[in-house]
Amino acid sequence: MLTHTKSFIMIVDDNPTNTKVLFDFLQASGFRVLVAKNGESALEKLQAVSPDLILLDVMMPGIDGFETCDRLKASPATQEIPVIFMTALSDAVDKVKGLSLGAVDYITKPFQQEEVLARVNLHLKLHHLNKQLEQRVAERTAELTFALEKLQQSQLQLVQSEKMSALGQLVAGVAHEINNPAGFIKGNLIHFQEYIQDLIHHIYLYQKRVSEAEIAQHAEEIDLEYLLEDLPKTLASMQQGVERICDISVSLRTFSRADSNAKILFNIHDGIDSTILILKHRLKASNEHPAIEVVRNYGNLPLIECFPGQLNQVFMNLIANAIDALEESNIGRSFSDIKANPNQIIIQTTLIDKNYILIKIKDNGVGMSDEVQKKVFDNLFTTKPVGQGTGLGLAIAKSIIVEKHGGTLEVKSLPKEGAEFAITIPVRDKN
């Protein structure tokens, strides 16, 4: 059974006898056939038609078959059309030359009709399958491109989710820290107002020149001795509260400062300190456990070129994770047990060879297994319960350190012996 009987074939040959034999045979086999007498004529006709296969004679006047094939393969409009050379040449060098120009096969004169039909059908089938494959590849590529875009959108959404999670933690910490000083300022203002009213009234008695007995009686009523002792303390307490709110405000600005397109000089210790202050509400003592101790062993570091806001996000993630690990380690332990072996986060900074800084954040919490350590920086990996972690924090942290700052972020840990995260960052931008 013949295949591709409706395919369109062009014959390019200057020999009328050969052309007529091929034309009659192929047409009888069900093909549509077009004839060109030489290379120039073929190239001209190919501007208007697009055959499925070309039978091209090698030896022709004007431009020969090799040059004609070379021009066909150089044109985007015809380069995919399969070319079969027709030749009486038996020299292998000529055949290699033709194949190197892009031809798919040779047919040797005089023609054997069965061989011609077999080769034509074979290469038409291969050409058809190749087109199908290219179409499937294009469709699959489009599908993969669409899937990649969707994945990138999902990743952006997850990154945004992680930022919102960090923002929620930040807001909760700031609200807690501000509520405390604001609360005692508000409470002290009530007493302060009463004290002022009593003092004003007491002074008014002097202005009225009342008797010493009445002044003494009023002093006893308002407990003047205690009032004069407590009033400076109340003012000092409110001053302390205001200063604390100012410190929180400064830390918040330091933590969340907007980065420019270029790196700027920044004091790493300011970033760490601001993060600790924002997380202070999670470090305080409660009914279940004593306060978490933060030990800061700071070295003498220069200002470094970096994106401060991004580094602060890394510090927030690592210190918050350390607190999570310590809280997990406290499960099942009594207050006295924890006090005997207190929760601790140790932060150490060091200058290495004047070119890099090293930041270590270590806790004495639950630690990690080897399996967890291998996955801890992977996207979406988390050991936290559903709804309590996105699995993006450490992946984003590593991206910030490695890709944005040309540094490294590594972890060392053993189960029940805590974990240590080590960050190295170049002092100056290497780019």
User: Is pLDDT above 60 for 161?
Assistant: no
pLDDT of residue 387: 44
- Per the CB < 8 A criterion, the answer to whether 109 and 65 are in contact is no
Domain formed by 8-111, architecture: 3-Layer(aba) Sandwich (3.40)
Domain formed by 257-431, architecture: 2-Layer Sandwich (3.30)
Average pLDDT in the 80-85 region? 89
pLDDT of residue 357: 95
pLDDT in tens, 103-134: 888 888 888 888 888 888 888 888 888 888 88
pLDDT in tens, 222-241: 777 777 777 777 777 777 77
What are the residue boundaries of the structural domains of the chain, listed by start?
Answer: 8-111, 257-431
The amino acid present at 154, given as its one-letter code, is: S
Among 62-66, 87-91, 192-196, 423-427, the range with the most confident prediction by mean pLDDT is 423-427
Distance, in Å, from the CA atom of 266 to the CA atom of 221, rounded to the nearest integer, reads 58
- 257-431: same fold as 8-111? no
pLDDT in tens, 163-217: 555 655 666 666 666 766 766 677 777 777 777 777 767 676 665 666 778 777 8
Cα of first residue to Cα of last residue in the chain, in angstroms, is 67
pLDDT of residue 175: 61
Listed range (92-96, 158-162, 314-318) with the worst mean pLDDT = 158-162
What are the φ and ψ backbone dihedral angles of 310, each rounded to 5 degrees? -70, -40
Per 3-state DSSP, what percentage of the chain is helix, strand, and coil (rounded to 5)?
55, 15, 30
What are the φ and ψ backbone dihedral angles of 404, each rounded to 5 degrees? -85, -25
